[in-house]
Amino acid sequence: MTEKFKILVTRKWPKKVEEKLLTTFDTTLNVEDRPLSEAELVEGMKSYDALLPTVTDPITDKIISTSNKKVKIIGNFGVGFNNIDIDSAKRNSIVVTNTPEVLTDCTADIAMLLMLGVARRGSEGEFHVRKKEWTGWRPTHMMGTKVTGKTLGLIGMGRIAQAMAHKSHFGFNMKIIFFDPYFDNDEVVKKFQATKLNSIDEVLSQADFVSLHCPSTKETKGLINKETISKMKKSAYLINTARGDIVNENDLVEALKEEMIMGAGLDVYEKEPSVHKNLVQLKNVFLLPHLGSATIETREAMGMRVFENIQAFFNNKEPIDRVV
CB of 78 to ligand DGY, least distance (A): 3
Using the rule CB under 6 A, give the single segment among 31-39, 76-84, 164-172, 231-239 that binds ligand DGY: 76-84
Q: Which of 255/303 has CB closer to ligand DGY?
A: 303
The verdict on whether 290 is a catalytic residue reads yes
Using the rule CB under 6 A, give the single segment among 72-80, 84-92, 144-152, 278-286 that binds ligand DGY: 72-80
Q: Which of 84/210 has CB closer to ligand DGY?
A: 84
Overall size of the chain counted in residues: 324
CA distances from residue 119 to 79, 148, 163, 255, 293 in whole angstroms, order as listed: 28, 11, 20, 17, 22
CB of 138 to ligand DGY, least distance (A): 39
Q: Which of 44, 53, 75, 78 binds ligand DGY (CB under 6 A)?
A: 78
CB 139 within 8 Å of CB 289:
no
The verdict on whether 272 is a catalytic residue reads yes
Q: Which residues contact 228 (CB under 8 A, 6 or more apart)?
A: 200, 201, 204
CB 72 within 8 Å of CB 207:
no
Q: Which of 282/294 has CB closer to ligand DGY?
A: 294
DSSP H helices in the chain: 15-24, 38-47, 61-64, 86-91, 104-119, 122-130, 159-166, 172, 186-191, 200-206, 226-229, 249-257, 296-314
Using the rule CB under 6 A, give the single segment among 78-86, 131-139, 180-188, 245-253 that binds ligand DGY: 78-86
Among the options 254, 272, 300, 308, which is catalytic? 272
CB count in 10 Å sphere of residue 317: 11
Q: Which of 9, 21, 79, 89 binds ligand DGY (CB under 6 A)?
A: 79
Q: Which of 44, 263, 265, 292 binds ligand DGY (CB under 6 A)?
A: 292
Q: Decide: residue 248, CB within 10 A, 0-12 exposed, 13-18 middle, 19+ buried.
A: buried
CB of 306 to ligand DGY, least distance (A): 11
Q: Which residues contact 188 (CB under 8 A, 6 or more apart)?
A: 157, 162, 194
Q: Contact between 103 and ligand DGY (CB under 6 A)?
A: yes
CB 168 within 8 Å of CB 148:
no
Distance of alpha carbon 285 from the chain centroid: 18
CB of 28 to ligand DGY, least distance (A): 22
- Count of residues touching ligand DGY (by CB under 6 A): 7
Using the rule CB under 6 A, give the single segment among 1-9, 23-31, 77-85, 117-125 that binds ligand DGY: 77-85
The verdict on whether 213 is a catalytic residue reads no
CB count in 10 Å sphere of residue 70: 14
Among the options 11, 290, 299, 305, which is catalytic? 290
Distance separating alpha carbons of residues 212 and 15, to the nearest angstrom: 32
Using CB under 6 A as the criterion, what x/- string covers residues 240-279 for binding ligand DGY?
----------------------------------------
Distance separating alpha carbons of residues 232 and 34, to the nearest angstrom: 40
Using CB under 6 A as the criterion, what x/- string covers residues 39-58 for binding ligand DGY?
----------------x---
CB of 274 to ligand DGY, least distance (A): 17
Q: Which of 107/228 has CB closer to ligand DGY?
A: 107
Positions marked catalytic: 243, 272, 290
Give contact residues for ligand DGY (rule: CB under 6 A).
55, 78-80, 103, 292-293
